[in-house]
Amino acid sequence: MYVFTHQGVNVSLLVVGSVALDTVETPFGRVKDALGGSAVYISTAASFFTTPIRLVGVVGGDFPKEYFSFLESRQIDLDGLRVIQDGRTFRWSGRYHYDLNNRDTLLTELNVFSSFEPQIPDGYKRSLYVCLGNIHPNLQRRVLAQISKPRLVVGDTMNYWIETTPQELRQTLELLDVLILNDSEVRLLAKEPNLVRAAKVIRSMGPRVIIIKKGEHGALLVTEDTIFSAPAYPLENIYDPTGAGDSFAGGFIGWLAKTDDVSDGNLKRAVIYGSALASFCVERFSVDGLRELSYLKIQDRYRSFMELSRFDER
Ligand code: AMP
């Protein structure tokens, strides 16, 4: 069902991924059991563009009440968030050094996530826009098997799946419209060092759109007819890069769902909105950079992005 707003057409957006308690250490501080997980960052970022967001994931009985309240305050629909009362929530811990581009994973405790079997509520099965966070490619495929005729499917993956489940990943790639991954993952998946050529190789595996995240060097959008390079926002204060990639994905698909336009021109705008959301995310720990954000602030940063690489012929 379409919901008309003053700024566009909101279509239904389904997000599937991890919901986590993160313990993160950077040179600027530490948080323990903070709200995290791919589905949380994607949904929160997307909620500035279209609501309600349909989140599908799993948590344990230890998931704090205030985190449920936060998600609800962002109009994230939690009918698809399973709570296993006698289980523990997925926990992840990472440490960043002065070069914030690299992190050490200190702990991945799957807990209730180890037996996660995404059940898509009946009311979500006709979602038009679908964002698959970084989970096992077979689970991503089992989500899609439950959705009827989505208009756009965006998927994320990581080196772990590229290396350990290559066949399963290849089957999932055939079902994606957009694949988002970072530069080293692109090279690994395509077995090709040149990013432009690698994107072409991956396009031949299924997704018609490839987005390559390059950390502090921005992002590259590759379609059949377009190569578009977006800068990263030059921030003075980066406190915690956790969730930057997922916030990017959320901003990207949120904008597309809001406008219901997947032309190349609008994909470029979506990449800039994704970059804007990622830039807000890293300015604070956990989801705090997104907590006090507004659509107006996002618009301001979007315009700053335009100024960043605008120049005259002479
Ligand atoms: P990003 O920084 O965008 O790569 O995303 C970081 C988020 O991913 C954190 O909030 C973690 O809780 C979550 N995460 C880390 N490892 C995994 C994993 N193996 N499966 C699912 N989610 C994960």
DSSP string, 47-100: TTTSS-EEEEEEEETTS-HHHHHHHHHTTEEEEEEEEETTS--EEEEEEE-SST
How far does Cα 242 stand from its chain's mean position? Answer: 11
Pocket of ligand 1, beta carbon within 6 A: 18, 20, 22, 36-38, 92, 108, 134, 242-246
Residue 248 CA, closest ligand 1 atom number: 3
Tens of pLDDT, residues 129-166: 999 999 999 999 999 999 999 999 999 999 999 999 99
Residue nearest to atom 1 of ligand 1 (CA): 243
Per-residue confidence (pLDDT) for residue 2, from 0 to 100? 41
Token output for 290: 């997104």
- How many A from CA of 157 to the centre of ligand 1? 10
Q: Virtual CA dihedral for 191, 196, 199, 204, nearest 10 degrees?
A: -90
Residue 90 CA, closest ligand 1 atom number: 12
Token output for 223: 């379609």
Residue 186 contacts residue 198 (beta carbons within 8 Å): yes
Domain ranges of the chain: 13-308
Q: What is the CATH code of the structural domain delimited by 13-308? A: 3.40.1190.20
Residue 92 CA, closest ligand 1 atom number: 12
What gap in Å lies between CA 18 and CA 22, rounded to an integer? 11
- Of 102-106, 167-171, 293-297, which range is least confident? 102-106
What gap in Å lies between CA 255 and CA 251, rounded to an integer? 6
Residue nearest to atom 13 of ligand 1 (CA): 37
3-class DSSP string for 250-286: HHHHHHHHHHCCCCHHHHHHHHHHHHHHHHHHCCCCC
Tens of pLDDT, residues 114-128: 999 999 999 999 999
In whole angstroms, how far apart are CA 148 and each of 16, 152, 165, 178?
16, 11, 26, 18
What gap in Å lies between CA 214 and CA 232, rounded to an integer? 9
Residue nearest to atom 20 of ligand 1 (CA): 135
Confidence grade of residue 314 (pLDDT, cut at 50, 70, 90): confident
Per-residue confidence (pLDDT) for residue 188, from 0 to 100? 97
